[in-house]
């Protein structure tokens, strides 16, 4: 440790190896030395570590952490970030509504009236733009660049059911003369080849009261009073302007235009394009949405 020297003209003691004053300074006086000012603390690693600890204790590091996190995203701090999320969600929902209302629509098959073309559990993508999108709540439509074509598979709103959409095949265009003879469809006097049609009931059926509407559209020369239409034998009748005749591919088990009548142009929603998913909804297994998926149908075009 340091030693102290005393003598004339000396009145202080300085520790050797320490940069700080030991004891009080000597008062100045005649014949004595004057008091030396205390030395500044030594700058070294030990001192810097001590200062660092003091800053941490006093919370001086907190502003640095906030700086690293960046400024608040809005006037409300955290709520500003939440507001941005809410805004993004709202914009996404609006876009989805616009796309679904005016561009494309999805449709799920829940009955077998279009088998084997469409199966129960098929998920369809429907084009609403091509034939003009109907403006909700009205019969007006946006401009179309395509018209319904014979044999199109279409989605439409039937006149006999509110809040329901059906999917059938278009077989009769405006001005066509249609007739069915023993399950064979005739259009304008010509038998039609329909490879997609499925027949299951070979016994036929009797006159159905729902078909009485056909009497108002019979060709000339047919007595409406003697007209007795059945599922497999009806017509000939004429499709009026701006109307279409729809049939299900599963002819023996389909309620279609034979029963509930013609479909007006403004009721057509769009043309079925392709399957975006499919699974067997009737399978007696758990998790059938995944386990019973029909992957071979996914992406397949509907014809």
Residues annotated as catalytic (active site), given as ranges:
113, 168
Across-strand partners of 195? none
| Radius of gyration for the alpha carbons in the chain, expressed in angstroms and rounded | 45
**CA–CA separation, 241 and 243 (whole Å):** 5
């Amino acid at each position: 440790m340091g030693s102290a020297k005393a003598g004339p003209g000396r009145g202080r003691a300085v520790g050797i190896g320490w940069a700080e004053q030991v004891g009080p300074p000597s008062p100045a006086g005649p014949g004595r030395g004057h008091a030396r000012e205390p030395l500044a603390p030594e700058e070294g690693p030990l001192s810097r570590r001590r200062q660092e600890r003091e800053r941490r204790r006093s919370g001086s590091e907190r502003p640095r952490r906030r700086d690293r996190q960046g400024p608040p995203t809005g006037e409300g701090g955290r709520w500003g970030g939440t507001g941005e999320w809410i805004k993004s969600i709202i914009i996404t929902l609006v876009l989805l509504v616009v796309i679904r209302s005016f561009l494309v629509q999805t449709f799920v098959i829940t009955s077998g009236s279009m088998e084997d073309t469409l199966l129960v559990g098929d998920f369809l993508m429907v084009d609403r733009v091509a034939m003009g999108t109907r403006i909700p709540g009205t019969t007006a439509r946006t401009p179309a660049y395509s018209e319904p074509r014979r044999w199109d598979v279409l989605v439409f709103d039937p006149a006999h059911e509110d809040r329901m959409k059906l999917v059938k095949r278009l077989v009769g265009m405006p001005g066509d003369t249609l007739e069915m003879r023993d399950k064979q469809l005739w259009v304008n006097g010509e038998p039609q080849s329909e490879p997609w049609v499925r027949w299951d009931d070979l016994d036929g059926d009797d006159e159905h009261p729902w078909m009485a509407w056909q009497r108002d559209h019979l060709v000339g020369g047919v007595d409406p009073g003697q007209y007795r239409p059945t599922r497999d034998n009806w017509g000939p009748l004429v499709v009026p302007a701006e109307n279409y005749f729809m049939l299900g591919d599963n002819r023996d088990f389909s309620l279609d235009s034979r029963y509930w009548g013609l479909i007006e142009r403004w009721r057509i929603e769009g043309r079925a394009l392709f399957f975006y998913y499919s699974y067997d909804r009737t399978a007696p297994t758990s998790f059938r949405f995944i386990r019973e998926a029909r992957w071979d149908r996914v992406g397949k075009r509907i014809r």
